[in-house]
Every structure is written in C-alpha cells, then in structure tokens.
Structure 1
C-alpha cells in the first residue's frame, strides 16, 4: 500500500538507488576484498612509492640535471592520479565532510597540495614526501592477507597509551630540568666549563638520562660525575617504563573482537565490529 503524501512519512522513503557505475567505483576504491579493489590498492601503493622516489632523486644534483624533465612528468602524473582519487572519494561517500576531515582525508589532501604549492612557492615540491603518509593505507591492504589484527593492535595500543605516555614524558622532562639545574650549580664555577647556562645543562641531563651520550659535554668535577652516573643509571631503570605501558595496552587491544574490512558508505572509514549496524565515526547505517 502506498504511503500518503505526508511530511511524517518522509523518513520512511527509500534512498535513491545508486547507479551501477557509481557502485562499481565504490567497490574498487573503498573495498579491499574484491579483486578490483585489491588491484587498485596495490597499484596505488606503487604510485605512492614512485612519486616519493622521484622527489628523492630530484634532490640529487647529478640525477636532476640529466632527468629533470622526466622526473617532473612523473611528479605531475602522480599528482593528477592522487587528485582524481581524492575527488572520487569525496564524490562517492554519502557524507563528504566526514571523509574530508578524517585522518586519511587530510593525508590524501596533503599528498596533492605540494605540487600545486610549488607553482607559487619555490621549494614547495620537496613537501611531496608527505605522500609517505599514504603508505599507511598499506594496513588496509594487509587486511586482505589476514594481518588486520596486528595492524589494529599496534595503532590502537599506541593511541590507548597516549595519555600515560604524555604523563611519563612530562615527568621525565621535570626530572631532566631538576638534574640539569643541579649539574649547572655544580659545574658552572669551574674555569672553562661547557655548562654555561641552565638550558645547556638540561640538554646534557637529557642526553645522559636517555643514555645517548654524544660526548660534546662532560662533567669535570667529582660531584658532577657522580650526578651524571646517577642520571645514567636512572635512565636505564626508567627506559623500560614506556615499553611496558604500550605493551600492556597492546595486549588489551589484542583481546578486542574481530573487525570487518567493510568501508562505511558515509565516510569511508574501516574497522567495524562484525555485528555493527552503524558506523563508529559518522553513524551511517552499514550495508551488508
């Protein structure tokens, strides 16, 4: 029975059927499980690698002087491919704004801009190395061979531990500032000392705590060497803390349920639970 023409029934009206051509493009660009989607992802990774290699070779004078025009053609060819792909992604998703301001949307945009900025600013083309970030899409390709759990565990483990790592970072910064100030008080009165200011002393403390030891600065007094030894030993004891923090969060994330590789039709994001009905980012209803 046909619904009456009434505003309250508008929400029940079916969405317009997508054209087969647009649906086919969606499967190629956003879906990784189909043969065409797999081919597109792998081809895109090759284009990314070629574009970055071209920029690196252009920085070598002997190569650039001989093959400048060829490298320029490769660079602009890759730029056109990335631009078309970016515009297609915006056109295919139901909620373009969500894709544009997503992580991968921003990365896709940044991979296109440097070539155009080079037309306005000298040296802008060197920022094309930003395209290396697009290799993060390799995680999506890895899903096709069963490595999605490992990729997601690493990324989510790092994301889950960011608050603890931030607290740890500032705690170590305070410790380095206190140790640097102390070593400055001890060493600053020595004739010909390298500890000419507190910032320089803090740099020395950071190098000592992290056990890097460049050797450009060295304590000359006995007390200064004792403090340095304490900082190095403290560094060995502390260096395992962030590793333990990240490892514990990775173990927690590894126990999460499996996820699908289906893309959201609204924003294109992946990584939904098998029983999810709506997108975890934009709330769009998931098909299939």
Structure 2
C-alpha cells in the first residue's frame, strides 16, 4: 500500500443520489462551502472535547465540575458515535473505511468513554481525539505543506535501511557500554543490572543526563566522557542521512518541473481548443480530451 493511500484513502459513495449522496459529499469532500463548514464545526467539537478531557484531569476542577465534565463528555461521545456510523453508511465498502488510518482514529475517538464504564481511568484516553485534527491539512487545502509532508515520508522510507543500520549500531554500543559499566561500577553505585546500565548508556549517549545514575569511580567517569563524545558524534548521523535524501528528492522534483516546463513551451497545441500545456507523453488534451496531433497536415 502506498504511503499516500495509507494516510488519506479514497472512498467511493454507496449512493450518489438522495441523502446518502448529499452527506457523502459534505463529510468526505472539502471544497464547497457547506463541506468546509461541516469540517470546521467538527474540528471545533473535537477541540472542545479534548479541552474538556484535559480540564477534567485537574484534581481541583474535577472535584468541583466533575459531573458537568462527565455529562459534556457523553454528549460528545454520542455525537462522535453517530458521526462514525453515518460515515460507515455512506461508503460503498465500510470495512475499508474501518481499517483505514482515519477510520481507526475516528473509532478510537469514541471508544474511551464506553471503555471507562468497565475500566477505571480509561476516560483520560479521550485526548486521542486530537489526532483527528490531522484533517485540517485537507480542509485548508494546504497543497504545498501536504506535498512537503509526503516528500518527508518518502525520504524516510527511502533511507530506512541506512537508518535501520544506524539504530542497530547504536543498540550495539548501548549493550557493550552497559555491560562494561555494570562491571566497572557495580550495584553499589546504582548499576544494579546490565539492562539498568543500558538505560544509563542511552541517557548518557543522548546527552540528556538525568542524574539518577552517575558513575563514582574514575574509570567509570572516563567511560562516561567517551559516551558523551560518542553521543555528540552520532546525533548528526541520521540527520545527515535524512538531509541527503531530502536534497536528492528536491533535485529530482526540480528536474521533473523543468522537464514539464520545457514540454509546455514546445508541446503540440490541441487542434480543438488550442491548449499547449500538456504533460510528458500525453496523447490526449488535458482540457478537452482531443487526441493530440490530429488535424495537422
């Protein structure tokens, strides 16, 4: 499955007529005023729901307004549930929507309140609804940002093997230095096990340094200094890999743009409508559908 399809799947309407056709257009399209109005209202409801969940997690506010927050949350949950089943009734293949990225997010947006009836504290998972704000990229038609986001994902995918080898190398360093520090410092200095020492190695190599575990011996402090220097050195590695892939993608995009521009200037004009701008290898006019080259002598 392509990355673009995973992030924003295309769904076909179950019916193009009647109320199902109308609501499919309003919910799944994002161009007309009523379609944008629905999405903006949905985003507002999501934001208010998330803010309610955040405020309800504050002990003082929960003690004073807990019942109000609970009632409001059930109103939102019922609204999201109805919207979810409405979406299922509008698409031709409901299971494709259920298993899609946004379908799973929509489902998880409604489930926490129901789960809280059986599991104490599950209602705090309501903040997952903030993920539905991802729809804002489609609502605002931020084509430039959407294209750049797709380019970032493609760059990550193209460099996945190099980044994977880098992560494996970091894990090997973590295991080796964790074992060494366990032998050098020992449980009496907080290094109670090799996994615990590996945790220290990760924190040290990331140059975070929480300070909950610190070496006490001169040899341990010397090893720590080496780990910190290694950390500074390896931080730039994935950035360089990813940056090089982005540069390559940018060069390729500019080359494709230049090729399209050249074809647009020297391309064959349509005999019917006169359109001169066509993509490379196009055999039909992108405006009227006329076969290119017909009518010429």
1:279 maps to what in 2? none
3-state SS of 2:239 partner? helix
Provide the residue aligned with 1:12 in structure 2: none
Contact 1:82 1:111 in 2 (8 A): yes
Task: Tell whether 2:174 aligns with 1:176.
Answer: yes
CA contact (8 A) 1:142 1:148 kept: no
Query: 2:226 pairs with 230, 254, 267, which one?
Result: 230
1:110-167 deviation digits (Å, cap 9, x = unpaired): 1111111122222221121221221222222242575322333344444555554343
What do you get for the CA RMSD once the two structures are aligned? 2.8
Unpaired stretches in structure 1, ≥5 consecutive residues: 1-14, 259-273, 275-288
TM-score, normalised via structure 1 length? 0.75
Aligned to 1:61: 59
TM alignment of 1:93-112, pairs within 5 A: 93-112=91-110
Q: Which residue of 2 aligns with 1:261?
A: none
SS at match of 2:189: coil
- Counterpart position of 2:271: none
Alignment counterpart, residue 246 of structure 1, candidates 242, 246, 249: 242
Aligned residues: 244
Where do residues 106-185 of structure 1 align in structure 2 (5 Å cutoff)?
Answer: 106-143=104-141, 146-185=144-183
Change over 3 Å in CA distance of 1:146–1:219 after alignment to 2: closer
Match of 1:210 among 206, 209, 226: 206
Distance 1:20 1:168 in 2: 56
Gaps of 5+ in 2: 1-12, 258-278, 280-297
SS of the residue 2:219 aligns to: helix
**TM-score, structure 2 as length reference:** 0.73
Q: Deviations over 1:156-204 (max 9, x none)?
A: 4445555543433232112101011112222239xx4222322222111
Aligned to 2:22: 24
The C-alpha deviation readout for 1:28-58, integer Å capped at 9, x for no partner, is 1011111111111111111111111111111
CA distance in 2, matches of 1:182, 1:140: 51
